[in-house]
Each structure stands twice: as C-alpha cells, then as structure tokens.
C-alpha cells in the first residue's frame, strides 16, 4: 500500500532557507508557525501564492492582528472560478485588511540582523517577519517511481477503480495518486482530505479481500474566507470547453434565504451545461451563506447525471429561513435552459 501523500511545492528561490519561511502542510507546521509568531512578536506576514492555504491563512493572520500581504504571480486569486468571482474574493480579503500584490513574482529572500525578512519581488521589496509559501503540493512518488509503479498523466500514481496500481499486490491511495473525474472522464490530481479518506477506505477494503470500487470524483471543493463562502463542483466553462463539450454558462445573483427573511445574504451561482444536450456539467458559487449547501446539492446532481431540465424543477426542501420558493439553483437552471 503506497500512501506517501504529497509534499509542498517549494521552488528554488534564492534565500529560501532563511529563518521564518514556512510551508503549511500539517499540524506540526501550524504549531511551528504559531510559536514563531509568538516568540518573535511577529507583526507582519507575507503569503506567497493565492490558493486555498494562502486564503485561509489570510484570515488566521488577520485575526492575530498581523499585517498580511499576499504575493501572487497571477492577477487575481482563484481565477479558475471566473474573473467575477475572483474579484469578489479579492474584494473580501482586501476589505478585511489584506494587501494583495497580483502579477508579482517572488525573486528571493534575504534575512536582516533584526530578524526581518526582505522579500524581493518583481514589484519591489517587502519587509516581513514571517513568510508562508502556499504554492500547492506535488505528489510524493519517488518511492513508487523507483519501484517501477506507473505514474499517470498528472504525475501522480495511476490507479484503477480498486485503487490498484499496475503491480499485482500494490495499491495506492491519497495525495500520492490520481482520481478519476466523472465529468471530464479523465484522471486528475485532486489532493484533498476527503478524497484521500475515501480512497484509503476503498484500498483497505480491497486489500482485506472484499471488493469495493471508488466511483471517482466530480471535483467538489469549498472554503471559507472571512465572511465569504466559496465552492465549486464539476467543470468550469473553460474546462468544459477544453474537454470538448458545447458548453455554456449562466450566472445569477440570488439570496441565501427568502427575500423577506432576516439576514438573507447575497450569493452568486454559475451553472455550466452542454445546453444542446441539456447536460449539466458544473457549478461555481460565491456568497455570504448557503453556498456550500447549493454546491453539494449540485455535486449530487452531477453524480446522478441530472439534466438541466431536471435541475430546473428539482424538489428541494423549502422554507423561508433556508431559501425562496424558487431556489437559486432553479433560477439559474431555468435561465440556462432559455
């Protein structure tokens, strides 16, 4: 059983070994970062990258009162979700006091006598007490690779639906291996905790002599950043086109509860579908509340192969504290059907 996980991407940047530069991969890393902040009375943090880890760390650092800067090589965080949603996420972190430096490459780190770290970037130098690199992870496949186990197109270990590698008695599971994406019908690399858990259980069941199949993923993810919920499932419009679907999308702005209900918050949802075939392909959503709830319903819709027509009239539980009589899912599906 190969369960070697993943390691943080750690590109070779001059000075990357100076004191106070961290990755966040596990609880031990978190404790180190927390202790460092306390011991050094850190007041400034730089996050490199703008993925899940960086965005979640923004919130943690701001809560600790740190001056927080995100340095990112692209123009917007979470661009995959579309420019509109990416801008909303940017606005959310900025309005919570995070500095965002987009289109910026980190070129090197220097350490000062005082402990201050100089972060040299393509847009000038920053001073910080602490740097966290959130540049994603790469599958840890060196052992598997040396042993002759096949890697897939993503660079992670190739497995079949039983979590079986190309070797008769060798299984793999978790962040070191690929997952089958049920919508694109392609192997993908999706190093997420819930998927690792599922794969581990399937591999263990098969190793134990029973037969279990991992049905693959539909690409669901979510996170919370300050007061915003962000979630997505299936394919984005861009991804759907790339895979070869005749894809279209429609984005609506709705509310999380009934309009008349107190504390109803704005949420935006984009549905992606092959409108010719009436096939639902994916959804992205950003908002104050009820975002993950909708995306989970839509993740199940992708799993069950619901058509756009079925989504437009799906029987969701309705009461004003939870939605309008027409849920944003219905409204978006009906708009996309037009």
| Contact status: 297 vs a copy of itself (CB under 8 A) | yes
**3-class SS at 26?**
coil
Give the chain's end-to-end CA distance (angstroms, integer). Answer: 50
Part of the chain binding a copy of itself (CB under 8 A), chosen from 128-136, 141-149, 166-174, 285-293: 285-293
Q: Which helix (H) or strand (E) holds 6?
A: strand 6-8
DSSP 211-234: ------B---EEEEETTEEEEEEE
Number of residues that bind a copy of itself (CB under 8 A): 53
Q: Measured at the alpha carbon of residue 65, what is the angle toward residues 59 and 71, in degrees to the nearest 5?
A: 55
Q: Which of 128, 233, 251, 284 binds a copy of itself (CB under 8 A)?
A: 233
Q: Does 86 bind a copy of itself (CB under 8 A)?
A: no
Contacts with a copy of itself, 162-201, as mask; x by CB under 8 A: --------------------x---------xxxxxxx---
Q: Is 319 in the site for a copy of itself (CB under 8 A)?
A: yes
Q: Residue 243: name the closest of 302, 188, 177 by CA.
A: 188
Residues 6 or more apart whose CB falls under 8 angstroms from that of 95 comprise none
* 217 part of the interface to a copy of itself, by CB under 8 A: yes
Piece of 41-49, 129-137, 169-177, 229-237 that binds a copy of itself (CB under 8 A)? 229-237
218 binds a copy of itself (CB under 8 A): yes
- Asked whether position 296 contacts a copy of itself by CB under 8 A, the answer is yes
Q: Where are the alpha helices (DSSP H) in the chain?
A: 27-40, 52-63, 83-95, 142-146, 193-207, 237-243, 291-304, 308-312, 328-337
Which residues between 21 and 60 bind a copy of itself (CB under 8 A)? none
Residue with tokens 């965080």: 77
Least gap, CB of 219 to a copy of itself (angstroms): 7
- Smallest separation, CB 309 to a copy of itself (Å): 8
Residue closer to a copy of itself (CB basis): 138 or 316: 316
Residue 265 gets which letter from DSSP? -
Q: Where do contacts with a copy of itself occur on this chain (CB under 8 A)?
A: 182, 192-198, 202, 214-224, 229, 231-233, 290, 292-293, 295-301, 303-306, 309-310, 313-319, 321-322, 325-327, 330
């Amino acid at each position: 059983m190969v369960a070697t996980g993943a390691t943080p991407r750690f590109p070779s940047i001059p000075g990357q070994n100076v004191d106070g530069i961290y990755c966040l991969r596990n609880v031990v890393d978190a404790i180190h970062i927390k202790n460092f902040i306390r011991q050094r009375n850190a007041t400034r943090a730089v996050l490199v990258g703008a993925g899940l880890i960086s965005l979640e760390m923004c919130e943690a650092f701001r809560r600790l009162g740190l001056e927080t800067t995100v340095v990112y090589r692209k123009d917007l965080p979470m661009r995959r979700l579309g420019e509109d949603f990416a801008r909303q996420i940017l606005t959310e972190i900025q309005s919570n006091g995070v500095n965002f430096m987009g289109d910026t490459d980190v070129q090197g780190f220097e350490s000062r006598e005082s402990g201050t770290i100089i972060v040299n970037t393509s847009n000038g130098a920053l001073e910080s007490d602490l740097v966290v690199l959130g540049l994603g992870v790469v599958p840890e496949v060196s052992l598997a690779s040396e042993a002759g186990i096949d890697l897939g197109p993503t660079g992670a270990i190739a497995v079949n639906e039983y979590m079986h590698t190309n070797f008769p008695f060798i299984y793999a599971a978790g962040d070191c291996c690929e997952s089958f994406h049920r919508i694109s019908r392609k192997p993908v690399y999706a190093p997420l905790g819930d998927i690792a858990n599922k794969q581990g259980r399937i591999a263990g069941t098969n190793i134990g002599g029973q037969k279990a199949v991992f049905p693959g993923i539909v690409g669901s993810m979510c996170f919370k950043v300050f007061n915003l919920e962000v979630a997505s499932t299936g394919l984005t419009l861009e991804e759907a086109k790339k895979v070869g679907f005749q894809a279209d999308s429609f984005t609506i702005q709705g509310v999380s509860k009934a309009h008349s209900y107190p504390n109803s918050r704005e949420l935006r949802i984009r549905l992606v579908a092959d409108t010719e075939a009436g096939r639902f392909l994916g959804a992205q959503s950003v908002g104050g509340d009820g975002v993950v709830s909708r995306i989970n319903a839509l993740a199940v819709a992708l799993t069950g192969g619901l058509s756009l027509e079925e989504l437009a009239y799906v029987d969701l539980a309705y009461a004003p504290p939870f939605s309008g009589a027409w849920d944003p899912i219905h409204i978006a599906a009906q708009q996309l059907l037009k």
